[in-house]
Structure 1
Amino acid sequence: MDLQLAGRKVLITGATKGIGEALAVAFAAEGALLHLVARSADLLDALADKLRSHHRVEITVQAADLGDPAVPPRIAKAAGEIDILINNAGAVPGGTLWQVDDARWREAWGLKVFGYVALARAVYPLMKQRGGGVIINNIGAAGEIFDAKYICGSSANASLMAFTRALGGRSLDDGIRVVGVNPGPVDSPRFRKLQADRGDSGAPSHLPQGRPASIAEIVNAILFLASPLSGYTSGTVLTIDGGLSSRDSL
């Protein structure tokens, strides 16, 4: 299937690890042009060199910390005329209300919640001026399964779900689609760290199929949502958790 992504310019934050890195690889394979953002300049340069050699696509990189409120407008300016924004940067700590102190809570929300909002705010007028675009927020299913052991993350994700739906409910009037993706547990070092933070151990037998999702299962869905083939999708959040959030009943 041709996703019609060749030649489109994609801005990806949190681009050097996990889903972000896999998205960079996948969009490059589709022939997209990339502007990659993460904190580590060394990791960005290494990834860009690999993608250029394998896929012969144009790639620019920008080392930046989205937790700094001054950074999102700089990223929008440096990225230039983008067609697709993938908000992906941010890692919220696990723990209860008393285990996540105020400083850690504010730091996590500054990067993920306010980082997503600020970058969308910076990019949206530029997309509108050019006639359209796509904003995809990689959020997380903890916004649907309220978890006292991941209270900072559940609260952050629920906020971003509301933001995505509110903005995307009207954005097609400006030719812009705003969509969210809620991955459930994904096979990654972050998943294993969160398990440890929660005190979980052993195989995740409570998960559908006894396993977390693969990164590819999340990335493939995001690629489709970003493509013109999903051109009527806006103001909604796709949950990819194997049905986990729908398993409980009264």
Structure 2
Amino acid sequence: MGTFDGLTAVVTGGASGIGLATATLLAARGARVACLDLFPGAPGAPGAPGAPDGVPGVPEPLLGLRADVTDDASVRAAVAEAADRLGGIDVLVNNAGIGAQGGIEDNDDDEWRRVFDVNVFGMVRVARAALPYLRASRAAAIVNTCSIAATAGLPQRVLYSSTKGAVLSMTRAMAADLVADGVRVNCVNPGTADTPWVNRLLEAAPDPEEERRALSARQPMGRLVSADEVAEAVAYLASPLSGSTTGTDLAVDGGMHGLRLRPSTGKERP
């Protein structure tokens, strides 16, 4: 038997990266899964029309539905269709998000509004639309994709970090509001992950290989986090096996948040 047998799940940003890895894992463990994305593609298609490079589209047996998390009507329609076709919603993975670079002077008001509209208000819209279905579930869980940027100060990430700080606080407040309804709310805090979005950032860098080495080196384990590793953490938090876990953030960051290593001397034991 699978951990998610008989359960249904909705994953936003489910056509690539962490979202697709999570949707695929939940389905492999027995869930019926709908992926909401701007570029869901067609089942079994080689790519998602109009999507950036590295967004393959939603493969079978996952249900791909188009949704724009900045548009409340689009969100409500997609969530309702997912609930209708899946037979309800037990798990919501609020994963859709975008990145942003620069210091406090580098982005104008419009860019701040745009990134908050996706990364924070987008989660609000999807959770709000899904709550009637989650409240009807006997195993309801929401997992928000947060970031190490919510708990550690990273250079040139002030806008992105601000949105993820809001997600962390929102997760805890939602958990307090919804615990009496039987809806658990948690979040995962990935470190720098090997995803299509990060790969696009690397390609835009003056020296992509050097930038990859630098991003890998700032995580104590010395490598980027994989999308599959984050998906495993999401699956744990979404699972009925974690039924006493709510209001928690789970770091998947190669030790970046919690470890403070001494500088290498070259004399460490192998």
- Judge same fold: TM > 0.5, yes or no: yes
Counterpart CA distance in 2 for 1:126 and 1:26 is 22
Counterpart CA distance in 2 for 1:44 and 1:109 is 30
Counterpart CA distance in 2 for 1:189 and 1:60 is 21
Contact 1:143-1:154 at 8 Å conserved across structures = yes
Q: Determine which structure has the larger helix proportion and give its number.
A: 1
Counterpart CA distance in 1 for 2:110 and 2:241 is 42
1:106 aligns to 2:105 (yes or no):
no
SS in structure 2 of the partner of residue 208 of structure 1:
coil
After TM superposition, the structure 1 stretch with the greater mean CA deviation from structure 2, 112-121 or 167-176, is 167-176
Q: 1:97 to 1:180 in 2, by over 3 A?
A: same
Q: Percent identity?
A: 32
Give 2:69's match in structure 1, choosing from 60, 66, 72. Answer: 66
One-letter code aligned to 1:201: E
Question: Could you tell me which residue of structure 2 aligns to residue 206 of structure 1?
Answer: 218
SS in structure 1 of the partner of residue 129 of structure 2:
helix
SS in structure 1 of the partner of residue 97 of structure 2:
coil
Give 1:122's match in structure 2, choosing from 129, 132, 139. Answer: 129
Question: Could you tell me which residue of structure 2 aligns to residue 55 of structure 1?
Answer: none
How many residues are treated as equivalent by the alignment?
Answer: 242
How do 1:166-181 residues align onto structure 2 when only pairs under 5 Å count?
166-181=173-188
Q: Tell me by how many angstroms 1:195 deviates.
A: 5.5
One-letter code aligned to 1:51: E
Aligned CA-pair RMSD: 2.4
Counterpart CA distance in 2 for 1:143 and 1:48 is 29
Q: 1:41 to 1:21 in 2, by over 3 A?
A: closer
Question: Could you tell me which residue of structure 1 aligns to residue 164 of structure 2?
Answer: 157
Contact 2:139-2:240 at 8 Å conserved across structures = no
Q: Tell me by how many angstroms 1:189 deviates.
A: 3.1
Q: Tell me by how many angstroms 1:155 deviates.
A: 0.3
Q: 1:3 to 1:223 in 2, by over 3 A?
A: farther
Question: Could you tell me which residue of structure 1 aligns to residue 5 of structure 2?
Answer: 6
Give 1:243's match in structure 2, choosing from 255, 260, 263. Answer: 255
1:29 aligns to 2:32 (yes or no):
no
Question: Could you tell me which residue of structure 2 aligns to residue 56 of structure 1?
Answer: none
Contact 1:5-1:30 at 8 Å conserved across structures = yes
Contact 2:41-2:64 at 8 Å conserved across structures = no
Q: Tell me by how many angstroms 1:5 deviates.
A: 0.3
SS in structure 1 of the partner of residue 33 of structure 2:
strand
One-letter code aligned to 1:35: A
Contact 2:36-2:64 at 8 Å conserved across structures = yes
Question: Could you tell me which residue of structure 2 aligns to residue 135 of structure 1?
Answer: 142
Counterpart CA distance in 2 for 1:156 and 1:18 is 19
Contact 2:15-2:40 at 8 Å conserved across structures = no
One-letter code aligned to 1:188: T
Contact 2:151-2:165 at 8 Å conserved across structures = yes
Structure 1, unaligned runs of 5 or more: 53-58
Contact 1:5-1:31 at 8 Å conserved across structures = yes
SS in structure 1 of the partner of residue 153 of structure 2:
coil
Structure index of larger Rg: 2
Q: Tell me by how many angstroms 1:145 deviates.
A: 1.0
After TM superposition, the structure 1 stretch with the greater mean CA deviation from structure 2, 176-185 or 142-151, is 142-151
After TM superposition, the structure 1 stretch with the greater mean CA deviation from structure 2, 183-192 or 160-169, is 183-192
Q: Tell me by how many angstroms 1:130 deviates.
A: 4.0
Question: Could you tell me which residue of structure 2 aligns to residue 92 of structure 1?
Answer: 99
Counterpart CA distance in 2 for 1:243 and 1:64 is 34
Contact 2:37-2:65 at 8 Å conserved across structures = yes
Q: Please, what TM-score do these two structures have when normalized by structure 2?
A: 0.81
Counterpart CA distance in 2 for 1:186 and 1:202 is 11
